[in-house]
Chain A
Amino acid sequence: MRPVLVVEDVRKYYGRVAAVDGVSLTIEEESVVGLIGPNGAGKTTLLDIISGVVRPDTGRIKLVTGEGEVDLTGRPISYITRMGVSRAFQIPNVFSGLTVLDNLRTALIASRRLYTRPTRSYEALPGVDEEAHRLASLVGLEDRVEVEASSLSHGERKLLDIAMALTTKPRVLLLDEPTAGLSAVEKGRIVELIEGLKRRGIPMLVVEHDLDVVFSVSDRVVAMHEGKVLVEGKPEEVRSDPRLRVAYFGE
C-alpha cells in the first residue's frame, strides 16, 4: 500500500534528555498504526511533532498526496491541519463555551476557510450544518447538538473531539489515548467508532495505553521506549516480543 505519512529520523531533545531519539515510521493508506510504550516513551511528543505543536530538532515529516510530497516539518499547526493531518487529544480539547453544533460548525468553517465571509450568518452557510449534523450522528452525539460542550461527560467530549478532527476530511487522523479515563461502555463506543473510521479507509496513528484496544484495532504496532522505536510489526508479533515485556515490566 502507498504511504501517506512518513516520519524520518525525528529527534527532539529537552536539555540532554532525548524525548524522541531518531524515530522513523510510515503510515500507509487505509491502515491503522498503533503506537504504544510505557509512560515517558515519547509517544505524545512524537504526536506533538507530527501535528506541529512541537518543532523537531532534526528529521522530517512528509505527507504524500496525489500531487506529490508536502514537507510538514516545523510548519504551523493550522497549516498541518489544513493539509489534512488532524488530531484528537488525550484530554479532550473542545470549545467549552460553545454548543456541540457550534463546535462542529467552527471546525468546519476553519477547515473550509469560510471565516473570511463576514456578511453571512454562520448558521446559514451552505453545506456546513448538514455536515455538522452528519458528524454528530457519526459519533453518536446527534441528540446532544444543542448542549454546551462544558456540560458533556468526559466520554462525550472525547467523541466531540474526534468529530472535530474529522471535519477536515483528514488524510491522516492522529488519536492520542482515545480511551483514557473512559468507562467500559464509553470505551466500547470509541473502539466502535475507530473501527468504523477504519472501514471508511481513514489512515490513523493511535497512541493508546490499553493494549487490548490497540492490538484489536491496529494493522501494525510500533512500540517505543526511551524515545526510540523498540519493536514494530504486526500486532501478534509485537504482542509476543519479549522486549515489550521488558520495557513495560523490567527484567
Chain B
Amino acid sequence: MKPSDYWALVLVFALLAVAPALAGPFYTRLLATGILYGTAAVGFNVLFGYTGLLSFGHAMFWGAGAYTVAIGMVKMGLSFPASLALSLLVVGVIALVTGFLSLRHTRIYFAMLTLAFGQLLYAIALKWRSMTGADEGIYGVPRPLGDVVLYYYLILGVSLVVLLALLRILKSPLGLAFRSIRDNPFRAEVVGYPVNRLRLLSYTISGLATGVAGSLYAPLQTSVNPEALYWTFSAAIVFMAILGGSRVFIGPFIGGLLYVFIQDTAMGVTEYWLLATGVTLGALILLLPEGIVGYIWRRLGGRLE
C-alpha cells in the first residue's frame, strides 16, 4: 500500500496525542515547541515546496504572530481567542503588503526582499520599546488553560486544524495550480493561470499558517523577544523543511520536531552545540537530499510532490 498524506498525518498526531503520558513536563513542552516549529515549516513549505518560491523572511510571520498575541494579552488585556484573531489579521496584512512588494521578483531577488522585510520588522521590535519591550521583549504572557499539558493539547488541536486545512488546499485545484507554477511559471501563464495573483495567495496562506504557529508560541514560553523575528529563525524554518523533505506534505512537520530534539540533544552534550547542530543537519541534508521523510516516503513507494 502506498503511503497517503492523510494517513501519515493521522498516525503522527495519534502518536503525539499519547506522548505526554510517556514524557514528563519538560519533554512535553519540548514536543509542543516541535509541533509549532513543524506547523510553521509546513506553512513555509506551501510557498517553497509547492509554489517554488524560497522565502528567507518567514520569521516575520512567526514573530508577528507571537508579538501580536503577547501585546494583545499583556498590553491590551484581550482574551487569548481575541488576541489570536488579532494576530491573524496583523499577519494577513503583513503577508499581503510584503508579498505584493516582494513578488515583483522571483528567485534570489525574492528571497533577499523577504529577508529585508523580515529584518525591518526585527528592527522595529528592537527599537519600539514602549510596545515591544525592545531587546528584553515581553514577559508574563498568560498561558491559556494554565497547565503545560493542557496547553499542549490545545497546540496539538490547532496545529491539526491548520495542517488539515493546508492539506485540503494543496489537494485541491488551487494546490495543483501552485505546483504547476512551481514547475513552469511561463507555461502556467500560457494555460491561463493568473500567476502573480496565485503566488500572492500562496504567500499569504503560507504566512498565515506560520503566523498561527508563532501566535501559539508566545503563551507556551510565556514571553517573546526579538529572536523570534531574527533572520536566523527564518533560516531555521528553511532547514526544518529541507531536513524533513519539502516534497512530502508531512516532511517539514517531522523536520520541525527533529530540529528541536537535535538542538536540545546537542545543547546537552557540548557547549559547541550550534556547531554540532549545524554539522548534524548538514550531514543529513547531504546524505538525504530529499529529506528524511522524503527518503522513507519514496522507499515505501510514495510519489514525491
Interface string of A162-195 (1 = CB under 8 A from B): 0010011000000000000000000000000000
Whole-angstrom distance between the alpha carbons of A128 and B13 in the complex?
Answer: 34
Of the candidates B184, B192, B195, B198, the one whose C-beta lies within 8 Å of that of A95 is: B184
With a CB–CB cut-off of 8 A, which chain A residues contact B186?
93
For the complex, is A242 an interface residue (Cβ under 8 Å from B)?
no
B189 and A95 contacting across the interface, CB-CB below 8 Å: no
Tell yes or no: B194 within 8 A of A by CB: yes
Contact of B190 among A81, A113, A114 (CB under 8 A): A81
Chain A residues positioned under 8 Å from B177 (CB to CB): 106, 109-110, 115
CB-CB under 8 A from A110, the residues of chain B are 177, 180, 188, 191-193
Q: Specify which of B168, B187, B193 is in contact with A115 (CB 8 Å cutoff).
A: B193
**What residues on B are CB-neighbors of A111 within 8 Å?**
191-192
B173 at the interface (CB under 8 A from A): yes
Looking at chain A's contact residues, is the secondary structure mostly helix, strand, loop, or mixed?
A: helix
Pairwise interchain contact B172-A118, C-beta atoms closer than 8 A: yes
Closest to B170 in A: A118
A106 touches B169 (CB 8 A): no
Interface residue? B2 (CB, 8 A): no
- Quick one: given A97-B179, A117-B174, A122-B176, are A81 and B191 in contact (CB under 8 Å)? yes
Interface size class of A (residues with CB under 8 A): 35 or more
Q: With an 8 A cutoff between CB atoms, is A138 at the interface?
A: no
**A98 CA to B184 CA in the complex, in Å?**
10
Nearest residue in B to A77 (C-beta to C-beta)?
A: B189
Interface residues of B in 164-221 (CB under 8 A from A): 168-169, 171-177, 179-180, 182-184, 186-195, 198
Asked if residues A118 and B168 are in contact (CB atoms below 8 Å), the reply is yes
In the complex, the chain A residue whose C-beta lies closest to that of B305 is A97
CB-CB under 8 A for A93 and B190, given A109-B173, A117-B172, A122-B173: yes
The residues of A that contact B179 with a CB separation of less than 8 Å are 95, 97-98, 102, 106
The answer on a CB contact under 8 Å between B187 and A95 is: yes
**Residue in contact with B192 in the complex, picked from A78, A93, A116, CB distance below 8 Å:** A78
- In the complex, the answer to whether A78 meets B172 with C-beta atoms within 8 Å is no
> B176 touching A109 by the CB < 8 A rule?
yes
The verdict on A106 contacting B176 (CB below 8 Å), with A76-B189, A96-B184, A115-B198 known, is yes
B interface size (C-beta, 8 A): 25
Q: Does A120 contact B (CB under 8 A)?
A: yes
A-side contacts of B168, CB under 8 Å: 118-119
Question: A94, A113, A117, A122 — which one has the most chain B CB atoms within 10 A of its CB?
Answer: A122
Would A118 and B169 count as touching, CB distance under 8 A?
yes
Residues of A within 8 A of B184 (CB): 93-96
One of B171, B173, B183, B194 near A98 (C-beta < 8 A): B183
> When the two chains form their complex, are residues A118 and B192 in contact, meaning their CB atoms are under 8 A apart?
no
> With contacts A94-B184, A96-B183, A115-B198 known, is A121 near B192, CB below 8 A?
no
Known interface pairs A93-B184, A110-B188; A78-B193 also in contact (CB < 8 Å) = yes
Distance between Cα atoms of A81 and B188 in the complex (Å): 11
From A82, A87, A94, A119, give the contact of B172 (CB < 8 A): A119
Tell me how far the C-beta of B197 lies from the nearest C-beta in chain A, rounded to whole angstroms: 10
Q: Report the separation of the CA atoms of residues A111 and B194 in the bound assembly, to the nearest whole angstrom.
A: 11
Min CB distance A25 to B, Å, is: 22
Q: Which residues of B contact A116 (CB under 8 A)?
A: 173-174
Query: Does B183 contact A122, Cβ atoms closer than 8 Å?
Result: no
A168's nearest neighbour on chain B, judged by CB, is: B192
- Asked if residues B191 and A120 are in contact (CB atoms below 8 Å), the reply is no
Q: Interface centre among A76, A109, A115, A125, by most B CB within 10 Å?
A: A115
Question: CA of A87 to CA of B189 in the docked complex: distance in angstroms?
Answer: 12
**Does A115 lie within 8 Å of B174, measured CB to CB?**
yes
State whether the Cβ of A214 lies closer than 8 Å to any Cβ in chain B. Answer: no
C-alpha gap A193/B182 in the complex (Å): 30
**B245 CB → nearest A CB, Å:** 15
A122 and B172 in contact (CB under 8 A), knowing A93-B187, A98-B180, A106-B177? yes
A107 to B198 Cα, complex, angstroms? 15
What residues on B are CB-neighbors of A98 within 8 Å? 176, 179-180, 183
Complex Cα distance A113/B175, Å?
A: 13
Q: Which 10 A-B pairs have the closest CB atoms?
A: A110-B192, A95-B183, A115-B177, A110-B191, A118-B172, A107-B191, A118-B174, A106-B180, A122-B173, A81-B192
